[in-house]
Each structure stands twice: as C-alpha cells, then as structure tokens.
Structure 1
Amino acid sequence: MTTTNTTTTSTASTSTAGTSAAPTAGALTKFADPLPIPPRLRPDPGDPLPHLTIRTEAAEIQLHSELPPTPLWTYQGCFPGPVFDVRRDQRIRVTWSNHTTTPYPALVAHLADAPGNPSLAMNDPGIGAATPVPGTDAIPAWFVTHLHGAVTGGGNDGWTENALLYGDAQLSEYPNRQPAMTLWYHDHAMDITRLNVYSGLVGMYLLRDEEEDRLHLPHGDREIPLIICDRNLATDAEGRPTGQLLHKTTGTLPFVGPYTLVNGRIWPHLEVRPGWYRFRLLNASNSRSYRLHLLDAAGDRVSGAAWQIGTDSGLLGAPIPLAAEGLVLAPAERADLLVDFGAFPGTELRLVNSAQAPFRGDPLPPGVRPGDPLPAARLPEPDVMLFRVAAEPADDGFRLPAVLSPGFTRLTHEALPPDHEHRMLALAADPDGTLGLWELAEVPPAQGPTAPGQVLDGIVQVRAADGTVTTYQRLARHFDDTLNWRARMDGWEQWRILNLSGILHPIHIHLIRFQLLGIDGYATGSFDPAHGGTATGAPVGYLGALPIDATQQGWKDVVRVPPGAMVSIAGRFGGAAGRYMYHCHILEHEDAGMMRPFSVMPGPVLALDPGMGGGGMGMG
C-alpha cells in the first residue's frame, strides 16, 4: 500500500489572517485557511489481494485557525478520512479497526417547537435556547463502516446492527468490479448514524479504469476532492466558539448548521493555476442540500468555466455545462466536475450555496442573487470556499472531450428485460408524525375504502395518467417490519417511489446503481396521514410528467424524490448477494425509521423460497 499525504487534516493550518484571540460568535475570518487535502491510500498494484487497516480513533483538529482544536472521532486521525485510490477489478480487503476510547465528542441538543418558529435558531452558533439531550454523552464508540456505492457481498456492506465496540474489527472485502466513479465511506451504526457521521467518520473512495484513463483528465495536484458538510459549534459564556461540535435540532427538523466546511476546514481557500482542474464533489452533510454556483469578484455568475462529467456512479456520456441555476447536491450525492480557470488569471472566484434549507435545492426567489444570505430560509452564510487564481499564462494542454463514456446509454422502461420486477414504495408520515418507507402491494379494489369518506389505515389508491385507479396495501413501513422484498441476483427491477410526505427525500439503495426513468407530478393532498390512507373516491391523482434535470440522467445510487412526485428508477441487482438496506440519506430521518432491509438471492435459490414474490408486483 502506498500512502500519499499532501496536507494532513490532523494539524492546524497556516492562516493568512489568523489571530490568537478566540473570535466572537459568527466572526470567523472567511477564506483564512488553505484547503486541506486528505492523504491518499493507493493499494500496491502488484499485490494480488492488498490488505489495508484503517483505524477509527479520536483526534483534536482545528476546523479554523481562529478556533481551539475540535474533539472528533475519525478514520486514521483525519477529518475527513484518507482518500482510497483504487483500480477497477483490484480486489482489496480492509480491516476497519475500532481504536476509539474517548466519550462522544459533540454536544447533542434539542430546540423544542414553540411559537415564533424557533427552528430558525438552528443556524445560530451556540446552544441558545436548546437543551442538551440526556444520555447522549454516554454514547459509546460503536461503529460499522459502509462503503457507499460499492458492489460487494452483504457480509461486507456494513450491516447497521453489526457495529463493533473498542478493540474489535470489521473485515470487509471490496471486489471493485465497477466502472470509474466517486464512492465514499461512512459510519452506518443503527440509531446513531447521524451522530457518528457528524463526529467526523467520513471519507472518499475513488475507482479508476481504462475508459477514464483514455480521457487524460486533470490529475495529480489538479484533481482535488471537495467533501462539503455543515456543522455548528458550542460557545462559551462570552459567545465565543469553543471548538466543540454542536448537533442542535428541533422536534420536527433535522440538523442544519451555520458553518460550511470543505475537507474539514471552515470556509477555506485554494490556490490554483490558470487551466483545468478536476474536482470530486461529495455532499457529506447530515441533511443540508446545496445549490452551488461559481461567482466572480463582482458577485456575478461565472459561465462557461465549469462542466459536470460524472454523477454518483460513473461518467456521463458527454460533459454538461454548469447551469446558471447552479449544481444541486442532496446529502450523499456526488458530482465529478471540470473547471477551467484559464480565463481568470490573478482573480478570485467564490463557490457559494443558494439552496434554502432544509431538504431543498429550490431556485432562488425573485430578486435574490447567489451569494445573498437567506437567514429566514436557514441559509445565513452562503459562502463555501474561495479559489485564488495565480497570475501566470494559462495553457495546460487539456481540451474538454466531446465524448466521455462511449458506451453510456439512457435507460428506458421499454429497453428493460421482459422479466424485470416492479416495486411500489411510498414516503409517508405516520399519525404520530414519524416518517416511514411504505412498501406497497397491489390488491383488489374491494379491499379499498367503500363507505363515503372512509379511510383505511395502510390503503392508498392512486389514479394513473390514463384514469385507472389502483389500490395498494401497505406491507411494511419501519425497519423491524417483516422483510418483503427479495431480489433475484442479476435481475433487473423498476422501483416507483411516491412522495406523500411533503418533504424532499434523497433515497439511497445499497449495492446497485440505477437510472432515473421519469418524474411525474401527483396531487397528494387527498392522502390523510392522520388515518394512514386515502378516502373513498379521493385517490392520489396524476398531474403530468416533470422534466429530468440533465445532471440527474446519469448512473446514480441516490435519487431525490420531491414532494408531490413519483419517481421511477431502474437498476440491476448484479454482482453480489446478501441482505442490504435502502433508506433516506437525511441521516436524522434514517435514524428515526426511514430505513428498510431487502435481500438479494441467486435465482435458483429464490425459486425454491416459499415466500418468493412477497411485495413484488410481477414481471414486465
């Protein structure tokens, strides 16, 4: 194994505007610190089965040069952890070894719902009117690592309840029989994923192949991971940040924080040369979505300089220019970007976020420009980072290729094998306000409501585009309900996901990559969450097809499901078997119950399963 470390994150950075005095709340100097570059782990290409050991351990790291060190739980003492750099078909073994002995490092607090919308105070630095959550300081270092996007056996995937305490280790094997793509790894422990990830347990994993090699993309110091997340900090009696992480939420909203970090540093800067760079972007936030823009010194959008070449799970067929509306990334989504700084020698460009929080990547309201604060929408600070372009000639010889992946094709339902399986899923609120994943099965209309105004718990009727009404019965909604969905290994499936909850959810399916076939709008106001269904004669109704953004037309493992919409996705459950999970990647939602298991089994075995077909809706 070769380890390359350009700039570690376990030591304080050099500041261009640092001060020895602790700042007042919200007064950290922007763009004071250079962007840290996580160390690289490159398995030895001559080793037939490299074996790497990654330790989880406590560390104290400065998130900004004007802050005291912040206690964290980390991989290898770094936040974020080291970047794996692996070739396609290079099978590796990783021992995730728990060496963490310190108490949970973040302060966990709750801001109760009350008149006056206290949820806006979620973005305020410091605990404010929030109350520490009893018992969270006793959370043990209980970890299990999931390689997000990996095609690997169920025993290697990081099953949520198989977390380990200090002194134990998780052995996982990753075949890497996948195209070039940006994956990432993070903790996935049952009930506390939001807290373990928040404490620092995230890292990037890059896969490369010959198709990518042929493009001669920017590499070396011109290929840079950008791992973006938000955090909050506790404050002392004078309102100065202490450096301790603060996970402050309300009774109804997941975490969003006032400080934006890139590679573990708050509002950093990066010195670049004129010419092309490749940025591997990851939204590692618990719940915040981003809508990213490049702005010049005058605050105007930069056009023609940034191009997206890949999505979560691989290269696109052709580059996509960064739209004026910006690049949207929900939690866990990735984007592979090329940026040409050649036209900007001696200038500075800002990367800013305009997404209203939480859960949303909506375009800005009229009259608001990217870079403007939106405190009422929980976006008090739009800045993400700064690029400082050197004043020197620009010609690195790279030219943007017209074709990226010659074999890339858009999936359609008609092109799927005739024996593909159909699944129906609803995202819905339960009467107590908790959110669930409702696995649905089609049933005869006679099982639906018949009396005037009647609502039957777990019965949802949907009117399609052609006017036909289908009755569905809920089979499961929470993690511990019966396992219903058994996929045939190497079989194709189409999942339709109907959002009845009124909140955007990014849904991640383990093991597979998929494509978005379509998005349709639905009138969902007839769904009655208090009674768990739709009333007689009031089905959820089709409104019309919605456009699919170009950045969502590649291979994905996270799909954004807007409220009042049904998305259709298709993918192949190939390459491995075992028990896996799918879930909302708003981590507070995942921990609160928006996660369900599924299993993948070889076809001949599945044919002998007495429960075969449970939850499916047939082939074709």
Structure 2
Amino acid sequence: MVEVGRRPGRPGALTPYADPLTIPPVLRPDVADVRQEIEIALRPTWVRMHSQLPPTLMWGYEGSVPGPTIDVRRGQRIRVAWTNRIPPGSEYPVTAVEVGPTPAGQPLPHNRPGREGVKPDERVAALPAWSVTHLHGAQTGGGNDGWADNAVTYGDAQLAEYPNDHHAAQWWYHDHAMNITRWNVYAGLVGTYLVRDDEEDALGLPSGAREMPLILADRNLDTDEDGRLNGRLLHKTSVLISSHPETGKPVSLPFLGPYSTVNGTIWPHLDVDDAWYRFRLVNASNARIYNLVLVDEHDRPVPGVVRQIGSDGGLLPRPVPVDFPGGQPLTIAPAERFDLLIDFRALAGRRVRLVNKGRNAPAGVPDLADSVPYPQVMEFRVQETCEPDPFVLPPVLSGSFRRYDHALVDHGHRLIVLTPPQTVGGGGHPEIWEMTEVKDAGVRVPAEGVIQLRSTDGTVRTYRRTSRTFNDALGFTIGEGSYEQWSFLNLGAPAHPMHIHLADFQVMSREAYRVDGFDPELGGTRTPVAPDPDRTLSVPANEQGWKDVFQVAEAELVKVMGRFDGAHGRFMYHCHLLEHEDMGMMRPFVVMPKEALRFDHGAGHGGHHG
C-alpha cells in the first residue's frame, strides 16, 4: 500500500493537503446571435495532480482539466462546437489493466497503485481520440444531446445547441462515447455548466470568489520499475469471485481508485475567509460513491455549518441541514450534484477537512472493506478577516417548486429491473431489463426473463422482459409533454446510480423488497418479489427536489416521476457507473409529438406512452 504523509523521497509517498485547489476558468458566452458558435476544443494537456508527482498526460476541454465552468442565464440560447483538436497518433493517456481474480472477502488490488505485473490492455492503448460531449441535465433536442454513437475524431466538430430555458441549476458536461466513456471521462473530459435565473439571484447567495465548483473524482496511478509513482493515469479494475455456493462466478468490478482529486488535484487545500461559501459539488468519478464528512483537526465531525440548498436539477424547496449525526456521511453517487453552503464564520483560524469515511468506519478512518484506502479529500484553511458577512440563510429557497401529487398527475408507468451480475446470460455484468406486464394467464412461470411482483395489497403482477441490451429493439416511446413514473427495482448488489437524459424528476418513494425469490441461475423469479415488512424506507429531505440521478440500492424499488417536455428525439438512460454503462447498462428511448405518436407502428412496447 502506498504510504501517505511520509517524506517525498519514499516511493509512492504523497503529502495530503500540500497543494492549493485549482479553480477552473469561467466561460460566460456573450454572443448576441445564436448562429455564432462558441468553439470549445478538446486538447491534450499536461497536469500536475500533486506537487510530488511528475506531470500527467490528460485530455481537457480548452486544454483545462476540469474544463471551463460555463455560466449562462436562463433563456440564453447558445451553440457550441465541441471540436476535437487531439492530433492523430496522440498517445492515449490511460493505461488499463484488469487484475485478479480475487476471492470474496479478500482485499481488492485496485486500491494499490501499479499494474501488479499485469500487461496493459493493448486495445485501450490503441484507442483514437473519439469523443462526443453530453451536457448532463440539459433539456435539448436529441440531436444536441451527445448521442453515444455520434462521436467525432480529429478536426471534426460536434455541433450542439442549448436553449437553457430552465430554472437555475448545476449541470455538467462530459464525454459519452459509445463503449469507451469510462476511459475518456477518466482521461479528464469533464466540466461544470451553471444556469442562473432571477429567482436564484434574489436569494443573494455567496458569489464571486465565494462560489466555486468542486469536481470530485478518484484516480489511480502507475509506477516505474522502482515502485515510484510516475504520474501516468492507471485504470485498474478487478475480477471478483463470488462466495455464493451456486453463483460463484467471476464478476468484473467497476473502477475504484485510491486517490481522491478535487478539480484535478489530489487532496488539495483551499484558503477561505470566515464567511459563508457556496460549493457546486459534482461526483465525476467513474464508480466511486463518496460518503463525505466535514471533520476538525481531531477527526471529529463538525456539525451545524453545512447546508444543502440544491440537487441535480436546481434549488431545493428549503435548506437541508447536514449535521453528520453520529458521524453519518453525506452520500453522493457518480453524476449527482450537491449545491452546498458552508458557514466558516465560527471556524476562524482553524483547519477543517472533507473526508471520505466509508459507510462503516468512524469519521476520518479508512474503511478497506468499503474500498476507501485513504479518507483525505480536501482541507479548508479558515482565515480570520474580522469583517462581518451580510449573508443570511433564507428559510425558503424556491417558492416556485411544487412536489408532484401522484393521485393528481395523469401519468404512464414503466418498470425497469436491474439484475445481479451473476444472472444467466449477462456475461458477468449487471443488466437493465425493460419489463412489460403480461395479462395472459397462460404465461409459463417460472421462466427466464419473467418477473413476478407482489404489491402491498397482495396482488401479484407478472412481467416479461422485452429488452436487456442497448441494441435490442426500441422499447420506450413517449409523447412530448407526458408525465411518467419509472420504477427501478434492484435485484442484487451493487447500488446503481440511474440517470435519465432530458427530463427532471422527483423521487416519489423508496420501498424495501425481499428479492430472494429471484434466481440468477434461472434468470427469473421462482416466487414473487415482495415488499419487506421488516424495513421501512423514506425519501430523505435532500432528495425531495429535482433529480436526474437516483441511487437504487440492493433490494430496493425506487419510483421517480417526471415530465418529458421541451425537446424531441432519441435519448438514453443508463447506470452512471461508467463501467456498467459501457458494458451494456444503457437503453434508448424516444420522445415525439403526441400527434405523431398516434400513428406509431410500435404501440404497446414497454408500457403507457402518456
């Protein structure tokens, strides 16, 4: 294991909080005519991820990692030419290896730097610079959304138009190239995109130097022949052998790296005033779910200073205190955004740290079982200014926000099942199954691809699988302007952060289920999956706003409702663990005018059209 905090001369040693936080440049488009494109070029660049490391080759938007923070006003329509300026023959910046297999219960090797003697994957090394940019969260037409197959190579541009007709929100942009998103994003292709509006302005939130993005991502690094970190990005994954007596098959795990970076720097520090600050946090990791706690110099949680004021799609109805009761963390999955306020007024002269504690360990203590070798994320150094901060936290943030009432919204339904990686036919990977209810009493049960669900009133419904891979026939076609409730049922580990393009959603419910009736060897249920009366779940306060990423834990049914409005075309939904997305946990859907949908020759697929 690489040592932390030792003298720099030791192989692999890095000192926490040694380097200042990098603040990405800000791009505020000021073109008066939408026909004037803004070019944002993808370029190779060299980055110092830590002062004790040699430079790291990465890819960046405008040569910056992360890319520029794009800052626009609501209704300010812009066109962007995402231009590929990465020359042909450029070295691919990521070394990829898969190590193992590792028996269940043994430490996983992906927490260590270096290739473990495994030869790099030559197919990854040979990848060209082939990229397409998705503005995550945006309401824009399918042709502008960054369809995964529509990637471009050197000298070509992906042209995209963004209406930005949306309430204030934090979106982010990143690569979405088919099959290789996990490596392109890992190479550095991420950035923040902020939409402003008058309602947010009226709150007088911290701004200017007291507002900044925090783009969180984990990394691993290769080593030289002497075991020293050489700065080279290492995408190192593991194969796990399940301990289950019947399903003890190899499972390819997503990437988890030992080093946390914020805005591209490993374990940075930030000098702040004794005042309120606003941090626009996004988890841009491939698969790391962060469990964050703010601690003092003695690793004790610091209560009462953090408020969450927004989530993926904009402001929450009211501030949510984040007090870390009992050391409980603030959990953020890949692609989720948290709009945070931190009140440093009572912390002048002190240093407080954001750490990733893991789900089971005390604050500040590494939890190897939860794949957290080092808890460090970043440090805040609070300066005493003796100047009063006039900001007052408002009790209500968004007067325009309204929660959906399920009984009052006319909506369609979809059921999506997330399968365990050991399921027959899945090749060792979890899958997305789109399901259609079967009314025919003659359907054979049990059978592969057939799922039975028992509701709380005892009713048993039978569903059959209609798709399981990205290239299966189109399943969901939706009338523009329609409301839909999508239900995600996770039949096994791990937790999946599910992302639906185009629309904003609200989490309607989280329900606990007993899923032992599902047999992975059969690929269907032998007895109905049923609600678990021993567990009660609720929707936490920080999930009761607008969301486009939803954590779906094992043995959980998550229902989300949203309106597919403002754009037409073909879009995607997928797991935002990028290794899962690339390996098949992604499906298309189409939004078209309701008038045109009346002539749809594929009516009936996947549920109601709305």
Q: TM-score interval w.r.t. the shorter chain?
A: over 0.9
Q: Structure 1 residue aligned with 2:334, among 331, 352, 367?
A: 331
Pair 1:342 & 2:342 matched: no
Q: Structure 2 residue aligned with 1:39, among 12, 25, 48?
A: 25
State the alpha-carbon separation in 2 of the partners of residues 40 and 415 from structure 1: 42
Pair 1:401 & 2:389 matched: no
Amino acid at match of 1:393: C
Change (3 A) 1:468 1:125: same
State the alpha-carbon separation in 2 of the partners of residues 427 and 235 from structure 1: 37
State the alpha-carbon separation in 1 of the partners of residues 298 and 18 from structure 2: 20
State the alpha-carbon separation in 2 of the partners of residues 607 and 497 from structure 1: 27
Q: Determine helix, strand or coil for the equivalent of 1:29.
A: coil
CA deviations 1:391-426 (Å, max 9, x no partner) are 232521000011100121222311312xx1111110
State the alpha-carbon separation in 2 of the partners of residues 184 and 447 from structure 1: 48
Amino acid at match of 1:376: A
Amino acid at match of 2:290: Y
Q: How far apart are residue 503 of structure 1 and its match?
A: 1.5
1:376-415 equivalences in 2 (<5 Å): 376-415=369-408
Q: Determine helix, strand or coil for the equivalent of 1:32.
A: coil
Pair 1:73 & 2:62 matched: no
Counterpart for residue 303 of structure 1? 303
Q: How far apart are residue 293 of structure 1 and its match?
A: 1.1
Counterpart for residue 9 of structure 1? none
TM-score under structure 2 length normalisation: 0.93
State the alpha-carbon separation in 2 of the partners of residues 392 and 615 from structure 1: 60
TM-score under structure 1 length normalisation: 0.92
Q: Determine helix, strand or coil for the equivalent of 2:159.
A: strand
Q: Structure 2 residue aligned with 1:470, among 446, 461, 465?
A: 461
State the alpha-carbon separation in 1 of the partners of residues 330 and 225 from structure 2: 39
Amino acid at match of 1:156: N
State the alpha-carbon separation in 2 of the partners of residues 529 and 444 from structure 1: 24
Pair 1:211 & 2:199 matched: yes
Whether the 8 Å contact between 1:426 and 1:440 is mirrored in structure 2 is: yes
1:456-495 equivalences in 2 (<5 Å): 456-495=447-486
Counterpart for residue 254 of structure 1? 254
Pair 1:152 & 2:140 matched: yes
Q: Determine helix, strand or coil for the equivalent of 1:405.
A: coil
CA deviations 1:495-550 (Å, max 9, x no partner) are 11111132210000000010000011111011012221012xx1111124511111
Q: Determine helix, strand or coil for the equivalent of 2:122.
A: coil
Amino acid at match of 2:570: R
Amino acid at match of 1:234: D
Whether the 8 Å contact between 1:441 and 1:617 is mirrored in structure 2 is: no
Q: How far apart are residue 295 of structure 1 and its match?
A: 0.8
Q: Structure 2 residue aligned with 1:91, among 77, 85, 103?
A: 77
Q: Determine helix, strand or coil for the equivalent of 2:108.
A: helix
State the alpha-carbon separation in 1 of the partners of residues 61 and 149 from structure 2: 20
Counterpart for residue 426 of structure 1? 417
CA deviations 1:49-106 (Å, max 9, x no partner) are 5521011110111001111000011111111101000000000000000011212111
Pair 1:530 & 2:521 matched: yes
CA deviations 1:565-619 (Å, max 9, x no partner) are 1111100000000000000000000001000000000000001112123111476
State the alpha-carbon separation in 2 of the partners of residues 498 and 37 from structure 1: 39
Q: How far apart are residue 311 of structure 1 and its match?
A: 0.3
Q: How far apart are residue 227 of structure 1 and its match?
A: 0.3
Counterpart for residue 28 of structure 1? 14
State the alpha-carbon separation in 2 of the partners of residues 270 and 161 from structure 1: 39
CA deviations 1:15-34 (Å, max 9, x no partner) are xx999x66522x11111110
Q: Structure 2 residue aligned with 1:369, among 357, 362, 383?
A: 362
Q: Determine helix, strand or coil for the equivalent of 1:125.
A: coil
Q: How far apart are residue 434 of structure 1 and its match?
A: 2.0
Question: Mind listing any 5+ residue stretches in structure 2 that lack a counterpart?
Answer: 240-251
State the alpha-carbon separation in 2 of the partners of residues 146 and 505 from structure 1: 20
Whether the 8 Å contact between 1:513 and 1:571 is mirrored in structure 2 is: yes
**Quick check: 177-186 or 37-46, which moved more?**
37-46
Q: How far apart are residue 375 of structure 1 and its match?
A: 2.1
Whether the 8 Å contact between 1:90 and 1:176 is mirrored in structure 2 is: yes
Question: Mind listing any 5+ residue stretches in structure 1 that lack a counterpart?
Answer: 1-16, 356-361
Change (3 A) 1:18 1:326: closer
CA deviations 1:359-379 (Å, max 9, x no partner) are xxx4x2xxx421001123211
Counterpart for residue 431 of structure 2? 436
Q: Identity over the aligned pairs, expressed in percent?
A: 50
1:160-309 equivalences in 2 (<5 Å): 160-251=148-239, 252-309=252-309
State the alpha-carbon separation in 1 of the partners of residues 276 and 493 from structure 2: 41
Counterpart for residue 543 of structure 1? 532
Whether the 8 Å contact between 1:54 and 1:96 is mirrored in structure 2 is: yes
Pair 1:321 & 2:321 matched: yes
Q: How far apart are residue 35 of structure 1 and its match?
A: 0.2
**Quick check: 307-316 or 110-119, which moved more?**
110-119
State the alpha-carbon separation in 1 of the partners of residues 408 and 356 from structure 2: 38
Change (3 A) 1:54 1:447: farther
CA deviations 1:421-444 (Å, max 9, x no partner) are 111110013313222111000002
Whether the 8 Å contact between 1:43 and 1:50 is mirrored in structure 2 is: no
State the alpha-carbon separation in 2 of the partners of residues 447 and 314 from structure 1: 47
Q: How far apart are residue 238 of structure 1 and its match?
A: 1.6
CA deviations 1:249-286 (Å, max 9, x no partner) are 01321100011000000000000000100000000000
State the alpha-carbon separation in 2 of the partners of residues 241 and 267 from structure 1: 16
**Quick check: 597-606 or 400-409, which moved more?**
400-409
Report how many aligned residue pairs link the two structures.
583
**Quick check: 142-151 or 37-46, which moved more?**
37-46
Whether the 8 Å contact between 1:290 and 1:353 is mirrored in structure 2 is: yes
State the alpha-carbon separation in 2 of the partners of residues 548 and 334 from structure 1: 17
1:521-600 equivalences in 2 (<5 Å): 521-535=512-526, 538-544=527-533, 545-600=536-591
Amino acid at match of 1:390: Q
Change (3 A) 1:457 1:348: same
State the alpha-carbon separation in 2 of the partners of residues 597 and 43 from structure 1: 31
Whether the 8 Å contact between 1:349 and 1:388 is mirrored in structure 2 is: yes
State the alpha-carbon separation in 2 of the partners of residues 394 and 416 from structure 1: 50
Amino acid at match of 1:258: P
Q: How far apart are residue 345 of structure 1 and its match?
A: 0.6
Q: How far apart are residue 116 of structure 1 and its match?
A: 7.1
Please report the RMSD computed on the Cα atoms of aligned residues, expressed in angstroms: 1.7
Counterpart for residue 11 of structure 1? none
